Amino acid sequence: MLENIIFDLGGVLLNIDMVQTRTAFARLGWKEEDWKGINQSGQLIFENLEIGLDSPAQFREKIRQILPSSPTDAEIDYAWNAMLRDFPIEIVNYLIKLKSKYRLFLLSNTNELHLQRFKEIFEGSFGYSIDRLFEKCYYSHEIGHRKPNSEAFTVVLDDAGLDPEKTLFVDDLKRNTETAEKFGMKVLHIEPGTLMQRLPEYLEESEF
C-alpha cells in the first residue's frame, strides 16, 4: 500500500526554461563556448552551489571570472533565476488533495538563490509558502547531497522514517529514478510538464 510520495521540483511541479538563463547570461557576455568549456573541463560551479559547498557570493565571483564584463550581484542573480517560470495552479490544487491521503515530501537539486526566487514566485501566486504543501522539503544545498547520489535519498528516507516499499518517487530525470529504484522505492519517471497526465493514472492503477 502506497503511503508516501516524494516529488522532484523543477520540470515536475515548477515549470523551468533553461533557454531563459542562457539568454540572460548571453546578454552579460557569456559565449556558447563558455558553456562548453565548463562541461568539458568538469568545472563544478553549479554543482558546488547546489550542494552548499559554495556560497552565493563565491558562485557570483566564479561567474564573473568567466564573463568579460563585471556584472552586479543583482544582474547575475537575475540571469541565474531566469529559468524559473511558474507553478501551474492545477498541480498545486492536486497536491492539496493528495495531502489528505499521502505523506508528501519534496527532494530538489537546488540552491540558495533559486530557493529564494521560487518561494517568491509561489507565494506571489498563491499567498502562502510552498512548504505548506509538504510534510518536509529537502533541498540539496541544505542537506549537502544532490540526486542522483544515493546519499540524498538516504537523508530523506532516514529523516522522515519512510518505508521505501511504501514510497513513490516522482522525477523527470531517469538517472534519479534509477537510484531511487535501488532503494526499493516505486518510481514514476515523467517528461517535464506531464505530471497531471501521468500521476493520477498511476495512483489509480496502484490501488488495484
Domain coordinates in residue numbering, the chain: 4-15+86-206, 18-81
Give 208's pLDDT tier (boundaries 50, 70, 90): low
- Phi and psi, residue 4, nearest 5°: -130, 145
For residue 69, the tally of other CB atoms under 10 A from its CB is: 11
Q: In this predicted model, what pLDDT tens digit does every residue of 87-146 receive, in sequence order?
A: 999 999 999 999 999 999 999 999 999 999 999 999 999 999 999 999 999 999 999 999
- Beta partners for residue 16, in sequence order: 84
Helix, strand, or coil (residue 5): strand
Q: Which three cell numbers stand for residue 45?
A: 560551479
**The three cell numbers locating residue 91:** 498541480
pTM: 0.95
User: What is d(CA 172, CA 182) in angstroms, rounded to the nearest whole number?
Assistant: 17
Cα–Cα distance for residue pair 180/185, rounded to 1 Å: 6
Phi-psi category of residue 186: left, alpha or beta, with phi > 0 → left and psi -120 to 50 → alpha: beta
CATH of domain 18-81: 1.10.150.240
Return the residue matching grid coordinates 552565493: 56
Q: How far is CA 114 from CA 75, 93, 97, 120, 206, in A?
A: 14, 23, 26, 10, 34
Give domain 4-15+86-206's CATH architecture: 3-Layer(aba) Sandwich (3.40)
Q: What angle do CA 12, 83, 181 make, to 5 degrees?
A: 30
Beta pairing class for 167-171 and 186-189: parallel
> What pLDDT is stored for residue 42 in this prediction?
46
* pLDDT tens digits, 187-205: 999 999 999 999 999 999 8
Q: Average pLDDT over the chain, rounded to whole?
A: 94
In 3D space, the residue among 169, 175, 205, 173 whose CA is nearest the CA of residue 188 turns out to be 169
